[in-house]
Amino acid sequence: MSDYLLILVSTILVNNFVLVKFLGLCPFMGSSRKLEVAMGMSLATTFVLTLASAASYIINTYILIPLEVEFLRTIAFILVIAAVVNFTEMVVHKTSPMLYQVLGMFLPLITTNCAVLGVALLNVQTGYNLFESMIFGFGAAVGFSMVLVLFAALRERINVSDVPVIFKGTPIALITAGIMSIAFLGFTGLDKGL
């Protein structure tokens, strides 16, 4: 049990995907203009990452390893994740229009961005089993969501504050992200104590 907790804490705080590992930076900058959009994006990412971890684990263990074609990992994962996410999008669209309105427009956006593929590949590298992979994917997504929502809130406040003209827009956003990254580096070494 404490193993799972360790994975969770380590992916959310210590090895945060965005601020420490530099994965998923484009949705981090792109969809953090508005808090609502950031929340929708967070939900969709959590969903996709957990699903992608499971799907890629199954493909890797039951198809790629028995056939000894592990070098196809990247392309096979992209294929599987994109297909699974598309399939889920269709099912959600049909069964729950409400949920589709919240997640719908974000799902195709994040099928295999670098965070999604990164989680799948890191799972294989670390040798997690199915459940551990899903915990890892979920933790990565929660970490991503937390940072994204915090960052979106910060940007909304920065928008109405008196920023020097040369820093307006992207520069101040990048500087803010950098300072957040410094803050998250403060968690380094936390997982050794657990």
Partner 1 sequence: MLDAVIALTILAAFFGLILGLASVIFKVESNPVVDQIDNLLPQTQCTQCTYAGCRPYAEAIAKGEAPINLCPPGGEATIQALADLLDVEVLEAKEDKSQEVTVAVIDEQNCIGCTLCIQACPVDAILGTSKMMHTVIAAECTGCDLCLPPCPVDCIDMVPVQTTPSNWKWQEPQNDINLPAYAALKQINVVEERV
Binder of partner 1 out of 1, 75, 98, 182 (CB under 8 A): 75
CB of 129 to partner 1, least distance (A): 22
The span from the CA of 121 to the CA of 116, in Å, is 9
192 binds partner 1 (CB under 8 A): no
Binder of partner 1 out of 68, 189, 192, 193 (CB under 8 A): 68
Residue 27 contacts residue 148 (beta carbons within 8 Å): yes
| Long-range contacts of the stretch 104-107 (C-beta < 8 A, 24+) | 105/40, 106/31, 106/40, 106/41, 106/43, 106/44, 106/45, 107/44, 107/47, 107/48
> Among 119, 123, 101, which residue's Cα sits nearest to residue 110?
119
Binder of partner 1 out of 36, 125, 162, 193 (CB under 8 A): 162
> Which tokens in the block code for residue 126?
């670390």
CB of 153 to partner 1, least distance (A): 14
157 binds partner 1 (CB under 8 A): no
Q: Binding string, 80-109, against partner 1, x = CB under 8 A?
A: x--x--xx--xx-xx---------------
Residue 137 contacts residue 53 (beta carbons within 8 Å): yes
Give the binding site for partner 1 (CB under 8 A).
59, 63-64, 67-69, 71-72, 75-76, 79-80, 83, 86-87, 90-91, 93-94, 159-162, 165, 168
